[in-house]
């Protein structure tokens, strides 16, 4: 795809005019220039998926997401050069699902701009996003709490007060029905007795994988409101 003729093809208006989805997996050939070329004509994207494309930076993400008003599904996984700056221009009134799993440079600041600008988000996947902290959970609860259906935070263990943060989030997300917290409390003192309250009238699926094997005397209370 880095070939000159290929770049000319994807830059043509005919190429992207009716394009609604792009999917790139495990390719080092994909870079910011190619995404910029696609973006010039593909203005009606509903789904963007980029997984382990290590030559893509914030500039490429900005190019392909800017002014995509019909974007419903955004999946950016394991992008080593992708930071919070790349999220600040994501703005779609119909964005439903966002997956940023394993993007280590994403911080709470990026999550803040994402949820502030896209209150329609219902499904959010932040597994292995070790750069986010408690503030991200407070912003998620404040900005998209009533709409949120699914939240995954596996191995997002950079929280200073994980029990308080997750309780506050669950209280402000009354329609949450799927919550994944595998190894979420990984850095908690294993000998400290902790009570974790997770509220939810609609909760149907709670994943606590790995927690009880590493942390002793921890009690989870699921309260139906």
Full DSSP string of the chain: --SHHHHHHHHSHHHHTT--EEEEES-SS--HHHHHHHHHH----SEEEEES-TT--HHHHHHHHTT-TT--EEEEES-TT--GGGGTT---TT--EEE-TT-TT--HHHHHHHHHH-TT--EEE-TT-TT--HHHHHHHHHHHTTT--EEE-TT----SSHHHHHHHHHHH-TT--EEE-TTTTTTS-TTS-EEEEEE-SS--EEE-TTHHHH-SSEEEEEE--
Tell me if 91 is assigned to some domain.
Answer: no
Tell me if 60 is assigned to some domain.
Answer: no
Tell me if 36 is assigned to some domain.
Answer: no
Tell me if 114 is assigned to some domain.
Answer: yes
218: pLDDT strictly greater than 50: no
Tell me if 168 is assigned to some domain.
Answer: yes
pLDDT of residue 225: 47
Residue 216 tokens read as 């002793």
pLDDT of residue 108: 98
171-190 pLDDT, tens digit per residue, is 999 999 999 998 887 665 55
d(CA 162, CA 174): 19
198: pLDDT strictly greater than 50: yes
Tell me if 13 is assigned to some domain.
Answer: no
User: 185 phi and psi, to 5 degrees?
Assistant: -100, 30
Tell me if 20 is assigned to some domain.
Answer: no
pLDDT of residue 193: 63
pLDDT of residue 197: 81
Tell me if 75 is assigned to some domain.
Answer: no
220: pLDDT strictly greater than 70: no
pLDDT of residue 207: 87
pLDDT of residue 11: 74
Q: Which domain holds residue 145?
A: 96-223
pLDDT of residue 149: 98
Q: Could you give the number of structural domains in the chain?
A: 1
């Amino acid at each position: 795809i880095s070939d000159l003729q290929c770049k000319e093809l994807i830059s043509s208006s005919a190429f992207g005019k009716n394009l609604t989805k792009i999917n790139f997996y495990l390719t080092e050939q994909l870079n910011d220039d190619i995404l910029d070329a696609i973006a010039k004509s593909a203005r009606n994207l509903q789904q963007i998926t980029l997984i382990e494309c290590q030559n893509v930076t914030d500039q490429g993400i900005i190019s392909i997401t800017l002014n995509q008003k019909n974007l419903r599904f955004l999946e950016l996984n394991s992008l080593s050069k992708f930071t919070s700056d790349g999220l600040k221009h994501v703005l779609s009134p119909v964005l439903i699902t966002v997956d940023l799993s394993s993007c280590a440079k994403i911080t709470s600041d990026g999550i803040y701009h994402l949820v502030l600008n896209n209150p329609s988000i219902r499904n959010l996947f932040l597994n292995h996003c070790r750069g986010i902290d408690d503030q991200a959970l407070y912003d998620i609860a404040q900005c998209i709490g009533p709409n949120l259906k699914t939240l995954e935070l596996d191995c997002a263990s950079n929280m200073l007060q994980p029990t308080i943060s997750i309780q506050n989030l669950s209280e402000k997300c009354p329609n949450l029905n799927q919550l994944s917290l595998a190894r979420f409390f990984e850095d908690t003192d294993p000998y400290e007795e902790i009570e974790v309250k997770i509220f939810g009238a609609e909760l149907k699926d709670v994943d606590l994988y790995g927690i009880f094997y590493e942390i002793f005397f921890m009690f989870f209370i699921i309260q139906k409101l």
